[in-house]
Amino acid sequence: MREEIIALLRCPLCHGPLAREGSALMCSHRHCFDVARQGHVNFVPAKRDTFYTKNLFESRAAVFAAGVFAPVIQAISDALERQGVRDGAVLVDAGCGEGYYTKSVCSERRLKRIGFDLAKEAIRLAARGPHEAAFFVGDLANIPLTDRCADVLLDVFTPANYDEFARVLKPDGILVKLWPRAGYLRELRGAARGKLRHDSYDDSRVADYLRAHATALEHSAITYSVPVDAPLAAHLARMTPMLAGIDVDMLDLTDVREITIDMNLFVGRIGARMEEERT
């Protein structure tokens, strides 16, 4: 892990700065976190089981490699260019999964890219291969990053912790949040009809919670469909929490020839309304 990234980290236990000590990172209270051979760090060493397993992340990797989400990367990159993101900016991807967005957003720019996720398997996959990003296992509720270090905080299909996001973002930092709209993967939900607790998806709760914490600079929909073959449809079914709890390998996906991608893209500032009121 590069020194310029280590300077942005803080100990999750005592919140003090961390420094390299051999092959580990250590704070002044001697809380110690090993740096793995691939360069990632685990700040949540206690094992936690999550829905997000190695198989799931491998399915996700197959879907990303097929380019299903390439238009989303383009839309985020365009939005960040419009907002004036510059080389050297610090981009933090909260709940980054296997790091597809961390590595691909604004790929032309030399950003300081940091991705973290609670799932160890995800971070292990993210750290693989040649890339410029730094990855660690970390919790959204106690982000091991210093106050006001991030220019951009990316939150793609991941729960938000707005107190922590507000702490970690610079005062002029930008939140980029993506979450599903009603049409997202509707063909897969159609194939699972009757097996799901809710046949339709309502995104209004996420939107209301977001609106209570952030002010929009832009808010748009990203909607398109992509042709899929049977293996790709099966990977998509395995990767989505929307089908959690049902045996996706038993679904009949033979009629699924295309998949709808339908999401919200919100770019804004956290707490901007509160700041405005104070001044």
Ligand X SMILES: C[S@@+](CC[C@H](N)C(=O)[O-])C[C@H]1O[C@@H](n2cnc3c(N)ncnc32)[C@H](O)[C@@H]1O
Residues that bind ligand X (CB under 6 A): 50, 52, 95-97, 100-101, 117-119, 122, 139-141, 156-159, 241
**Looking at beta carbons only, is 151 or 155 nearer to ligand X?**
155
Distance from C-alpha of 65 to C-alpha of 67, rounded to nearest angstrom: 5
DSSP secondary structure string for all residues of 195-224 = TSS-SS---HHHHHHHHHHEEEEEEEEEEE
Q: Which does 31 bind (CB under 5 to 8 A by kind): ligand X, Zn ion, none?
A: Zn ion
Token pair of 125, please? 């996959």
Q: Is 121 helix (H, G, I), strand (E, B) or coil?
A: helix
Q: Which does 118 bind (CB under 5 to 8 A by kind): ligand X, Zn ion, none?
A: ligand X
How many beta carbons lie within 10 A of that of residue 1, not counting itself? 18
Pick the binder of Zn ion from 29, 82, 110, 148 (CB under 5 A): 29
Q: Which does 224 bind (CB under 5 to 8 A by kind): ligand X, Zn ion, none?
A: none
Q: What does DSSP say about strands 134-137 and 112-117: parallel, antiparallel, or unpaired?
A: parallel
**Looking at beta carbons only, is 28 or 220 nearer to ligand X?**
220
Pick the binder of Zn ion from 17, 19, 31, 131 (CB under 5 A): 31
Distance from C-alpha of 210 to C-alpha of 212, rounded to nearest angstrom: 5
Q: Is 18 in the site for Zn ion (CB under 5 A)?
A: no
Distance from C-alpha of 261 to C-alpha of 112, rounded to nearest angstrom: 29
State in angstroms the smallest separation of the CB of 15 from Zn ion: 7
* Of the candidates 91, 103, 3, 118, the residue with the CA atom closest to the CA atom of residue 61: 103
Q: Which does 182 bind (CB under 5 to 8 A by kind): ligand X, Zn ion, none?
A: none
**Looking at beta carbons only, is 141 or 274 nearer to ligand X?**
141
CA distances from 79 to 73, 112, 119, 188, 211 (A): 10, 18, 28, 29, 19
Is residue 167 exposed (0-12), middle (13-18) or buried (19+ Cβ within 10 Å)? middle
**Looking at beta carbons only, is 11 or 92 nearer to Zn ion?**
11
State in angstroms the smallest separation of the CB of 159 from ligand X: 5
**Looking at beta carbons only, is 27 or 119 nearer to Zn ion?**
27
State in angstroms the smallest separation of the CB of 52 from Zn ion: 27
Pick the binder of Zn ion from 2, 4, 13, 86 (CB under 5 A): 13
**Looking at beta carbons only, is 30 or 47 nearer to ligand X?**
47
Q: Which residues bind Zn ion (CB under 5 A)?
A: 11, 13-14, 27, 29, 31
